[in-house]
């Protein structure tokens, strides 16, 4: 059983009309529901969204793409009075504007990931606001504003525990699998039926019980797609007395060619790896 509790408009004097970004959010959360309901696992504690934490956002972020498909939107998105479908000009404008600000959004995700890692890596006691200022000034285009305390509203600090980086990692995974769905059709039932047979670990039927099984499930997931865009997750919190950052590129792979002053604070040191660098699927 699964239920979504969402803060969407409710009907009243006016119809409950949703903005497109709310539709995308609904598809994202429904992706979690599908992951939960369609899992086949021997142990409930390793089923559905109880999978490895840096994979859990992959199905949900992939399912967002269905909310950007004209074919899918035409199945339900219509003017509440006329019943007309979304005009072509409006749909094309939505798609064209989708990438606006994407680099800044990605940069902010990296800032949040690093802030999460630092809070869970450094020794205690520590001044969380000082760490926030240090990390934001190193990773964000917008410098820290004195007197602010963003960390008090960073809800994912509790629950994800140093795993917020999984959003960007899982996004890479979802984009890889999406290559096949886009090639063969988002509503292609044959492709959808091949998916769980091609990668049983995707739905935690095998993944999550041990590190090796979890990694094989992720590799199965990637092999369903193009299989060439990402490698297994590389970041884990370092020992508590080490507050350095590890360089990595936006695909999640170790980047040995990155200049030392690009993503590092002073005294860089490698973080421990889930998988050795030569196991990466990246070219």
- Note whether residue 6 is domain-resident: no
Could you list the residue range(s) of the whole structural domain that residue 27 is in?
20-80+87-97
> CA–CA separation, 28 vs 170, rounded Å?
13
> CA–CA separation, 64 vs 66, rounded Å?
5
Q: What is the CA radius of gyration of the chain?
A: 20
Q: What is the pLDDT of residue 265?
A: 33
> Does residue 93 share a domain with residue 177?
no
Ramachandran angles phi, psi of 260, nearest 5°: -65, -20
- Note whether residue 147 is domain-resident: yes
Q: Which one is predicted more confidently, 126 or 270?
A: 126
Q: What is the pLDDT of residue 121?
A: 92
Lowest mean pLDDT among 38-52, 62-76, 191-205: 191-205
SS3 at position 78: strand
- Note whether residue 32 is domain-resident: yes
Domain C-terminal end among 41, 67, 97: 97
Q: Which one is predicted more confidently, 46 or 62?
A: 62
The domain spanning residue 53 has which CATH number?
3.40.390.10
- Note whether residue 2 is domain-resident: no
> Does residue 178 share a domain with residue 117?
yes
Give catalytic residues, as residue numbers: 29
Most confident of 20-29, 174-183, 255-264: 20-29
Task: With cut-offs at 50, 70 and 90, classify the pLDDT of residue 206.
Answer: very low
- Note whether residue 14 is domain-resident: no
Rounded average pLDDT over 164-183: 87
Whether 206 and 196 have beta carbons less than 8 Å apart is answered as no
> Does residue 211 share a domain with residue 263?
yes
- Note whether residue 135 is domain-resident: yes
Asked if residue 282 has pLDDT above 60, the reply is: no
Share of the chain above pLDDT 70, in %: 69
> Does residue 198 share a domain with residue 124?
yes
Residues 31, 37, 38, 44, CA torsion sign: positive
Mean pLDDT rounded to a whole number for the chain: 75
Ramachandran angles phi, psi of 89, nearest 5°: -60, -40
> Does residue 149 share a domain with residue 54?
no
Rounded average pLDDT over 136-143: 94
Q: What is the pLDDT of residue 63?
A: 93
Whether 225 and 176 have beta carbons less than 8 Å apart is answered as yes
Q: What is the pLDDT of residue 219?
A: 55
> Does residue 268 share a domain with residue 135?
yes
Task: At 202, list the tokens.
Answer: 């995707």
Q: HSE (CB half, 13 Å, CA atoms) of 227?
A: 10
Asked if residue 100 has pLDDT above 60, the reply is: yes
Q: What is the pLDDT of residue 177?
A: 84
Task: With cut-offs at 50, 70 and 90, classify the pLDDT of residue 278.
Answer: very low
Task: With cut-offs at 50, 70 and 90, classify the pLDDT of residue 132.
Answer: very high
> Does residue 251 share a domain with residue 125?
yes
> Does residue 115 share a domain with residue 75?
no
Asked if residue 207 has pLDDT above 80, the reply is: no
Q: Which one is predicted more confidently, 204 or 95?
A: 95
> Does residue 35 share a domain with residue 92?
yes
Task: With cut-offs at 50, 70 and 90, classify the pLDDT of residue 42.
Answer: confident
DSSP state of 144: P
SS3 at position 166: helix
> Does residue 197 share a domain with residue 65?
no
Domain C-terminal end among 97, 122, 140: 97
Angle at 281 between CA 66 and CA 221, to 5 degrees: 40
Number of structural domains the chain divides into: 2
> Does residue 276 share a domain with residue 137?
yes
Q: Which one is predicted more confidently, 277 or 196?
A: 196
> Does residue 155 share a domain with residue 45?
no
- Note whether residue 212 is domain-resident: yes
- Note whether residue 27 is domain-resident: yes
Domain C-terminal end among 72, 97, 122: 97
């Amino acid at each position: 059983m699964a239920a979504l509790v969402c803060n969407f408009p409710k009907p009243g004097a006016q119809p409950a009309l949703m903005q497109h970004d709310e539709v995308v959010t609904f598809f994202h959360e429904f992706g979690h529901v599908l992951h939960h309901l369609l899992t086949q696992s021997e142990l409930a504690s390793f089923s559905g969204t109880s999978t490895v934490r840096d994979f859990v956002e992959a199905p949900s972020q992939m399912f967002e793409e269905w909310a950007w498909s004209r074919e899918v939107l035409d199945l339900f998105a219509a003017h509440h009075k006329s019943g007309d479908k979304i005009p072509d000009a409006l749909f094309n404008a939505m798609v064209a504007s989708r990438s606006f600000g994407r680099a800044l959004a990605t940069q902010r995700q990296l800032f949040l990931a690093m802030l999460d890692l630092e809070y869970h890596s450094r020794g205690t006691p520590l001044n969380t606001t000082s760490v926030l200022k240090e990390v934001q000034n190193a990773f964000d285009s917008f410098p820290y504003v004195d007197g602010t305390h963003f960390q008090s509203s960073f809800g994912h600090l509790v629950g994800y525990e140093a795993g917020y980086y999984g959003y960007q990692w899982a996004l890479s995974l979802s984009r890889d699998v999406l290559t096949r769905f886009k090639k063969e059709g988002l509503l292609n039932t044959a492709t959808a039926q091949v998916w769980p047979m091609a990668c049983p670990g995707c739905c935690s039927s095998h993944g999550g019980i041990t590190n090796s099984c979890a990694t094989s499930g992720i590799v199965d997931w990637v092999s369903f797609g193009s299989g060439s865009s990402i490698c297994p997750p590389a970041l884990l919190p370092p020992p508590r007395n080490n507050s350095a950052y590890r360089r990595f590129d936006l695909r999640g792979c170790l980047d040995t060619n990155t200049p030392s002053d690009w993503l590092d604070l002073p005294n860089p040191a490698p973080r421990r790896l889930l998988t050795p660098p030569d196991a990466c699927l990246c070219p």
